[in-house]
Structure formats: C-alpha cells, structure tokens
C-alpha cells in the first residue's frame, strides 16, 4: 500500500453498498487504504462483485449481509465487521429506500418503510457501531439528499426522511464530539445509478441537467470522492455539516 493513502490502516463499514452510490463509496474508501465491510440486504451478487473489484485493486473488503431496519441483523453486521477487521474508524450510513407518491397516495406502509430504513435504521446502526468504534475517534458520514431542502413534489415522505437525516447529523455531531467522532452528511443531487434507471426517474435527467448549473447529473464517483474526504483527517475540523454535492442545484 502507498503511504500516500489517506485512510491507510482504517476500518470502514458502508451500508447498502452492493450497487450505486454505496458501491462507489466502498471502492473509494478502499482505494484510500481502508479495509471495507460491504453491507448488502439482498444482492449478494452485487456485494461480491464490489468486494472482488476491491481485491483486484489490492484492497481489503468483505461482504456482510444485513437488513439495517432490523436490530438483530444490525448486531450481527457490526459483530462480523469487528471480527473481520477490528475496531471501526468510519461508518457510512448509505442504505435507504426511495419511492415517490403524491399526498393523496401516501399510505402507512410506505411511510413506515421509508422511516424504518432511512431514519430508524440509521439511528440503530449508529448506536451499534459506537460499541465497536476506535476509542481514538473517527468519522460518520450519513447519506442524505438535496431533496431534504429542495423538496420536490410527489416525494414528501422521502423528503421528510432526508430532512430527519440532516437533523440527526447535526445533533449526533454534538453528542459524539467528546469521543472525537465527527458526524457529517453528504447531500447528493440526482445521480445516475441502477436505482435511478429501475425507477424510471432517469427519464427526467435531461430536465434536471438543464437546471443544474454544472450542466449534468451526477455520477456515483461525484459522491464517493467527497465522502472519502469527510472520512479522512483532511476534514478533521469539519463536523455537523451537510455537504451538498449537486452540481450547484439547490
């Protein structure tokens, strides 16, 4: 490993890392020298692919299954991460669900699905991770969204969960500062991922690109690079911040 790697010797867990933004983040952290636990809920094939790519590049990674809306899975996930690599230095809360519905079509099932994963899951994972964190401190990065403030119509519940993530980020940053654990969020704009294609939202990409000052929608690497920055000591004086990576769309 190169001594120039900013995360050399660190241990990271990335939830929801079998594809899309999470996969890109896992690979970026590994490229900077971190040993990475690649969490997945259902796509073992995708997580194994991410791990194989990290290994091929000379990095360390392991795929660990776990539904982060379930306490038993979370306990096992953190236990297996610790068993594989030792104390945790970096936690990236990326796992989440994205579904749209106008006000008149919001139902209890959709509401609880979003909040159980996007909000409660983040809280529970963070709680459990703290039991395994390096006593010297570290970094937690929550993946939020520009929609926490842009608040597009038809996405009220999702928007609300990401507003909650921003609020949790600010509060946890103050609670965990005495432990030298920094907590920040990354708030992406529209990013081209498998999920974007599967939901059909990609059809709106041209119109989103047209109103984005930098003139394009994002790629997963556009999010992974600032996450690696937030995970490193380069951002050692930054905590409680929501970093917007949106091409200027706010």
Task: Tell me, yes or no, whether 5 lies in a domain.
Answer: no
Give the relative orientation of helices 108-115 and 156-176 as an angle to the nearest 10 degrees.
30
pTM attached to this predicted model: 0.95
Task: Reduce the DSSP state of residue 94 to 3 states and report it.
Answer: coil
pLDDT at 198: 57
**Mean pLDDT lowest among 3-7, 88-92, 124-128:** 3-7
* pLDDT tops 50 at residue 71: yes
Question: In sequence order, what are the residues at sequence separation of 6 or more whose Cβ sits closer than 8 angstroms to the Cβ of residue 210?
Answer: none
59: nearest Cα among 80, 41, 81, 37 = 37
> Do the domain assignments include residue 187?
yes
**Domain tally, the chain:** 1
Count of all residues that appear for the chain in the document: 250
CATH number of the domain to which 91 belongs? 3.40.50.720
Is 1 inside a domain boundary?
no
Pairing of β 242-245 and β 181-188: parallel
Measured between alpha carbons, how far is residue 20 from residues 24, 86, 249 in Å? 6, 26, 20
Identify whether 127 is part of a domain: yes
**Domain enclosing residue 143, as ranges:** 11-245
Choice among 40, 98, 158, 244 that is catalytic? 158
Q: pLDDT band at 1, cuts 50/70/90?
A: very low
Q: 98 an active-site residue?
A: no
Phi, psi of 163, deg, nearest 5: -65, -40
Does 196 fall in a domain? yes
Does 2 map to a domain?
A: no
In a domain, 6, yes or no: no
pLDDT at res. 105:
95
Does the residue 197 lie in any domain?
Answer: yes
Tens digits of per-residue pLDDT, 26-60? 999 999 999 999 999 999 999 999 999 999 999 99
């Amino acid at each position: 490993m190169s001594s120039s790697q900013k995360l050399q010797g660190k241990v990271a867990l990335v939830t929801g890392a079998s594809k899309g933004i999470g996969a890109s983040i896992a690979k970026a952290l590994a490229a900077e020298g971190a040993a990475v636990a690649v969490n997945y809920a259902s796509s073992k094939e995708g997580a194994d692919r991410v791990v194989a790519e990290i290994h091929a590049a000379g990095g360390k990674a392991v795929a660990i299954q776990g539904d982060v809306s379930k306490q038993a899975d979370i306990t096992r996930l953190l236990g297996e991460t610790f068993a594989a690599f030792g104390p945790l230095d970096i936690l990236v809360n990326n796992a989440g669900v994205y579904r749209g519905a106008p006000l008149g079509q919001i139902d209890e099932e959709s509401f609880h699905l979003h909040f159980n994963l996007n909000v409660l899951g983040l809280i529970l994972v963070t709680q459990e991770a703290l039991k395994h964190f390096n006593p010297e401190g570290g970094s937690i990065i929550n993946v939020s969204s520009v929609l926490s403030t842009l608040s597009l119509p038809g996405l009220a519940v999702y928007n609300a969960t990401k507003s909650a993530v921003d609020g949790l980020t600010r509060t946890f940053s103050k609670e965990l500062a005495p432990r030298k654990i920094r907590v920040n969020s990354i708030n992406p704009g529209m990013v081209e991922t498998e999920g974007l294609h599967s939901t059909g939202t990609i059809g709106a990409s041209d119109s989103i690109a047209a109103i984005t000052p930098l003139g394009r929608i994002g790629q997963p690497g556009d999010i992974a690079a600032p996450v690696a920055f937030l995970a490193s000591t380069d951002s050692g004086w930054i905590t409680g911040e929501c970093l917007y990576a949106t091409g200027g769309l706010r």
